[in-house]
Amino acid sequence: MQKTPYHADDNRLALSPTEAARRIGIGRTHLYSLIKSGALKTVRLGKRRLITLKAIEECLAAHECLP
- In the predicted model, is pLDDT for residue 8 greater than 80? no
Q: Which residue has the higher pLDDT, 58 or 4?
A: 58
Whether residue 1 lies inside any domain: the answer is no
Which strand (E) or helix (H) includes residue 20? helix 17-24
| Start-to-end C-alpha separation, the chain | 37
Whether residue 36 lies inside any domain: the answer is yes
- In the predicted model, is pLDDT for residue 10 greater than 80? no
Whether residue 27 lies inside any domain: the answer is yes
Whether residue 49 lies inside any domain: the answer is yes
Whether residue 9 lies inside any domain: the answer is no
Whether residue 43 lies inside any domain: the answer is yes
Least Cα distance to 58 among 17, 24, 12 occurs for: 24
pLDDT in tens, 11-66: 889 999 999 999 999 999 999 999 999 999 999 999 999 999 999 999 998 876 55
Integer Rg of the chain from CA: 12
Whether residue 32 lies inside any domain: the answer is yes
- Structural domains counted in the chain: 1
Domain extent for 35? 14-62
pLDDT at 11: 80
What's the rounded Cα separation, in Å, for the pair 52 and 13?
Answer: 6
